[in-house]
């Protein structure tokens, strides 16, 4: 496809282009950028066109059209970039799944770009300067609002990704001297335009040029490196959600309502699977606020919260609270033995409480609780974690160090008794598992496939329900490798599979499952490595 420029030494095409695309709303934007000697980007060409819910069938064709237009072959691409939202989750998923497939197959870095930043840079390229607010449609009468300052150098972000009700946004923006753009205007033009100066419709959605300009700024600020495959591993690329799934939000709303003893079964932990120690993990409900307060009194001394303070936290959209329950008998609702909670604001998970009953400490419960909270925090837009801890509490400091947080400074006389607080911060404290919080499960071979007798290799992928599965077979139907990552732990407490959660986990797990399948296949074939380029066909 197109003429390849060759490196005279290795006779391979020179990788000098970046391909960027976005499908987070009702349009497809595909842009091609040339990588300059200083790693900055020059826009080459692109296509912006309406999708009308057909991005899944039109995106690859549009990518091919852009590459044909520029006479650029796929082997000349050095990096894939795609919009990560926030936006329509289905739209974001289409772009990200496509990008993960392309980056994995071509062994390229995958850089995710804020869809809203791309809109802001598009406005900047159109000549807009000064204050700008981008309001993207978040459905449910809500918007994703982000504030910027636009100057000759680009678009400078002033706020983190969040979700806000339309009424709140309109009321707030009316008091600010700012221009407004974003695809929320397509649905709520009358309401939003009454609150401020609205830009022309051409600036409401991400454009090919806006994507390349956003990536160029990321390169300038060292947020991205188009040649760093380790830093931009496709397996770690995720969408920006800014909120939990509908099922999880509904669950938290129910848990925020105190129930009588007769209706306590709805807050039972029976559906939450127990680990090897008989401990189940589930979002904290208001019925157990008194149990948290009891443990607070035992463990926290003068820093203890009472029942009312704990109950007031549960159900807030900017909070995440999880609890651990001892479940010695599968027919008995569990006893609360630990809890953790955090405030999620401005992209940071501010840890409020972590505690485990003395008889259950040093079993990894606190780390698992924090990992549950961190998962929520990520979905709410957080990238970092922070907290204050007493200077004298060396045990707690050691624990937080073990989950990746480091000392940043001291707040003098922070506590009511005058003791100083150590400030700690770092990345979100996830527990390490095989992939996306799940364990791999592999099956035995159906036959002894020998390296000396190669056959066509078929790579098969299955993600229709709650298992991310990949397998490799030969042309005779013999199974060479089979890897499954089950999501049962994420769905069990809902009593069935939740499609939105399943979709999120598939996006998170797919690269890791496929890579593990290739690794196991190579071992079973007795060869050093097997890659996508060795495959003769794909089955889905």
Q: Give yes or no for a contact between 430 and 369, defined as CB atoms under 8 angstroms apart.
A: no
SS3 content of the chain, % helix, strand, coil (to 5): 35, 30, 35
* Two structure tokens written together for 428: 């979100």
Q: Give yes or no for a contact between 144 and 116, defined as CB atoms under 8 angstroms apart.
A: yes
Tell me, what's the pLDDT at 484? Answer: 95
* Two structure tokens written together for 345: 């604001």
Q: Give yes or no for a contact between 440 and 471, defined as CB atoms under 8 angstroms apart.
A: no
List, for residues 167-196, the tens digit of each pLDDT value: 999 999 999 999 999 999 999 999 999 998
User: In degrees, to the nearest 5, what angle opens at C-alpha 111 toward C-alphas 109 and 117?
Assistant: 165
Tell me, what's the pLDDT at 45? Answer: 97
Give strand pairing partners of 77. 17
* Parts of the chain with a pLDDT under 70: 1-12, 258-272, 328-333, 444-454
Distance CA 298, CA 307 (A): 13
Residues in the chain: 540
> Which of 206, 183, 211, 180 has its CA nearest to residue 194?
180
Residue 101 backbone class (left: φ over 0; alpha: ψ -120 to 50; beta: rest): alpha
434 burial via Cβ count (<10 Å: 0-12, 13-18, 19+): middle
Tell me, what's the pLDDT at 451? Answer: 54
> Which of 527, 391, 388, 513 has its CA nearest to residue 463?
513
DSSP helix/strand/coil, 330: coil
Distance CA 406, CA 387 (A): 10
Please, what is the end-to-end C-alpha distance for the chain in angstroms? 26
Distance CA 155, CA 430 (A): 32
Alpha helices, H only, 300-355:
307-313
Tell me, what's the pLDDT at 103? Answer: 97
Tell me, what's the pLDDT at 302? Answer: 86
29 burial via Cβ count (<10 Å: 0-12, 13-18, 19+): buried
* Two structure tokens written together for 276: 């090897």
DSSP helix/strand/coil, 378: helix
Element (H, E) at 512: helix 499-525
């Amino acid at each position: 496809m197109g003429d390849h420029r060759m490196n005279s030494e290795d006779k391979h095409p020179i990788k000098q282009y970046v391909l960027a695309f976005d499908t987070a709303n009702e349009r497809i934007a595909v842009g091609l950028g040339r990588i300059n000697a200083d790693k900055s980007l020059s826009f080459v060409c692109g296509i912006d066109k309406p999708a009308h819910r057909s991005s899944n069938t039109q995106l690859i064709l549009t990518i091919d059209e852009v590459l044909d237009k520029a006479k650029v072959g796929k082997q000349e691409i050095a990096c894939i970039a795609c919009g990560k939202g926030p936006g329509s989750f289905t739209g974001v998923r289409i772009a990200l799944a496509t990008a993960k497939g392309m980056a994995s197959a071509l062994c390229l870095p995958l850089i995710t770009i804020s869809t809203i930043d791309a809109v802001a840079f598009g406005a900047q390229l159109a000549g807009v300067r000064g204050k700008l607010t981008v309001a993207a449609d978040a459905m449910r009468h809500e918007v994703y609002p982000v504030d910027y300052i636009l100057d000759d150098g680009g678009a400078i972000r002033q706020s983190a990704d969040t979700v806000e009700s339309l009424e709140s946004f309109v009321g707030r923006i009316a008091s600010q001297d700012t221009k407004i753009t974003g695809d929320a205007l397509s649905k709520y033009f009358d309401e939003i335009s009454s609150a401020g100066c609205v830009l022309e419709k051409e600036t409401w959605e991400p454009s090919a040029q806006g994507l390349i300009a956003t990536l160029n700024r990321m390169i300038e600020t060292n947020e991205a490196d188009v040649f760093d495959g380790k830093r931009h591993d496709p397996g770690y690329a995720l969408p920006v959600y800014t909120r939990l799934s509908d099922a999880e939000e509904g669950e938290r709303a129910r848990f925020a309502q105190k129930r009588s003893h007769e209706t306590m079964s709805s807050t039972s932990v029976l559906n939450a699977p127990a680990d090897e120690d008989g401990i189940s993990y589930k979002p904290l409900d208001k019925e157990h606020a008194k149990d948290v307060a009891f443990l607070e009194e035992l463990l926290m001394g003068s820093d203890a919260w009472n029942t009312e303070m704990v109950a007031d936290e549960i159900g807030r959209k900017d909070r995440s609270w999880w609890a651990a329950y001892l479940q010695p008998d599968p027919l008995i609702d569990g006893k609360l033995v630990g809890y953790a909670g955090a405030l999620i604001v401005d992209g940071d998970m501010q840890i409020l409480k972590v505690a485990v009953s003395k008889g259950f400490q040093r079993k990894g419960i606190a780390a698992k609780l924090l990992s549950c909270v961190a998962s929520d925090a990520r979905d709410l837009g957080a990238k970092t974690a922070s907290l204050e801890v007493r200077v004298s509490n060396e045990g707690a400091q050691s624990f937080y160090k073990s989950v990746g947080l480091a000392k940043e400074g001291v707040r003098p006389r922070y506590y009511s008794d005058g003791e100083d607080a150590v400030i700690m911060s770092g990345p979100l404290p996830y527990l390490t598992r095989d992939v996306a919080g799940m364990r791999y499960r592999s099956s035995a071979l159906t036959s002894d496939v020998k390296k000396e007798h190669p056959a066509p290799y078929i790579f098969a992928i299955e993600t229709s329900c709650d298992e991310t599965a990949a397998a490799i077979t030969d042309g005779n139907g013999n199974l060479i490798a089979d890897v499954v990552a089950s999501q049962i732990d994420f769905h069990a407490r809902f009593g069935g599979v939740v499609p939105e959660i399943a979709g999120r986990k598939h996006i998170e797990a797919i690269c890791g499952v496929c890579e593990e399948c290739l690794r196991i296949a190579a071992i079973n074939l007795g060869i050093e490595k097997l890659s996508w380029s060795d495959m003769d066909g794909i089955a889905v």
